[in-house]
């Protein structure tokens, strides 16, 4: 029995040794196989990395060859940009200088124009004075020839011309009466003339820009009776233009003014030897006054 147990034990130990050796052998074989596979894989990866690095180096070299001309072109464009900036700055400086010169020329031309316009207004007044004097002279001659007398005609007209041109007043003198016209104004829109017989009033725009006369009023008061005319809405008067406001029933000469309006409230503006006509703007401020004085 003891011998049988020992035999079984020996057989078991032998079988165990055989199994262990087999397992150990397989383990080492598998380990060697895995090591070979790892080494092969590592070698492939290293080769792949080397290939990739070589490709990247070649690509970088190609890019450097391509970037060289581009960098040169970029430097050339930067130089051109700086030159254009300098040229543009010089052009701006010349433009500003030319602009200031033109502005100075414009201001001087505008001042000369306003001066010439003022002188033209004064000359127009003198021309109107001369025309009025000639008209009165003709009327005086007609009346003299009609009545057969010539008393005081020569001396009367001579006195009227001297007084009118010297003082700047529109003066007309004949053997029967003397009429003096005088006006004052504060702006471009002003009364240009008033008929001494109450037929019309002429308003002018002596400025160089269009004026809107909507709300402007003409007023004349004679013997307690006031006559007022208000310009219609949206009525405008261009530079250098005139408008004649005629009393109802009077037919004006259409070639004398640019515009014609009618004072519908009365058949006359009114006369009384001496009278004053006033022009008010749309704010109620007096901007012009025209006095007709008869002696």
Per residue of the chain (295 residues), what is the pLDDT tens digit? 777 777 787 887 788 788 888 888 888 888 888 888 888 887 778 888 888 888 888 888 888 888 888 888 888 999 999 999 999 999 999 999 999 999 888 888 888 887 777 666 666 666 777 777 777 778 777 777 776 544 333 333 333 333 333 333 444 443 335 778 888 998 899 999 998 889 999 999 999 999 999 999 999 988 778 999 999 988 999 999 999 999 998 887 777 789 999 999 999 998 877 899 999 999 999 999 999 887 5
Q: Selecting from 2.60.40.1260, 3.30.70.100, 3.40.50.300, 3.40.140.10, what CATH number does the domain 179-294 have? A: 2.60.40.1260
pTM of the model: 0.43
The first and second tokens of residue 55, run together, are: 């490709």
Domain boundaries, the chain: 179-294
Can you give the three-state secondary structure of 54-83, one letter per residue?
A: HHHHHHHHHHHHHHHHHHHHHHHHHHHHHH
């Amino acid at each position: 029995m003891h011998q049988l147990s020992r035999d079984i034990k020996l057989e078991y130990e032998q079988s165990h040794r055989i199994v262990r050796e087999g397992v150990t052998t397989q383990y080492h074989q598998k380990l060697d196989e895995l090591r070979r596979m790892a080494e092969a894989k590592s070698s492939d990866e290293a080769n792949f990395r080397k290939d990739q690095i070589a490709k990247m180096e070649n690509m970088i070299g190609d890019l450097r060859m391509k970037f060289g001309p581009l960098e040169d072109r970029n430097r050339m464009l930067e130089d051109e940009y700086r030159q254009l900036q300098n040229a543009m700055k010089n052009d701006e400086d010349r433009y500003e200088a030319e602009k200031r010169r033109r502005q100075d020329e414009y201001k001087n031309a505008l001042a000369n124009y306003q001066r010439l316009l003022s002188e033209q207004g004064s000359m127009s007044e003198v021309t109107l004075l001369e025309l009025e004097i000639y008209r009165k002279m003709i009327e005086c001659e007609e009346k003299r020839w009609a009545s057969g007398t010539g008393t005081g005609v020569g001396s009367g007209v001579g006195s009227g011309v001297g007084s009118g041109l010297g003082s700047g007043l529109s003066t007309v003198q004949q053997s029967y009466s003397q009429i003096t016209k005088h006006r004052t104004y504060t702006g471009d829109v002003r009364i240009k003339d008033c008929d001494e017989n109450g037929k019309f009033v002429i308003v002018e725009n002596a400025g160089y820009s269009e004026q809107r006369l909507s709300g402007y009023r003409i007023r004349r008061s004679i013997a307690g009776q006031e006559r007022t005319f208000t310009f219609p809405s949206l009525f405008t008067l261009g530079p250098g233009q005139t408008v004649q406001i005629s009393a109802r029933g009077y037919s004006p000469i259409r070639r004398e003014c640019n515009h014609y309006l009618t004072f519908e409230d009365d058949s006359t503006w009114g006369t009384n030897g001496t009278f004053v006509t006033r022009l008010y703007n749309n704010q109620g401020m007096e901007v012009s006054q025209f006095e007709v004085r008869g002696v």
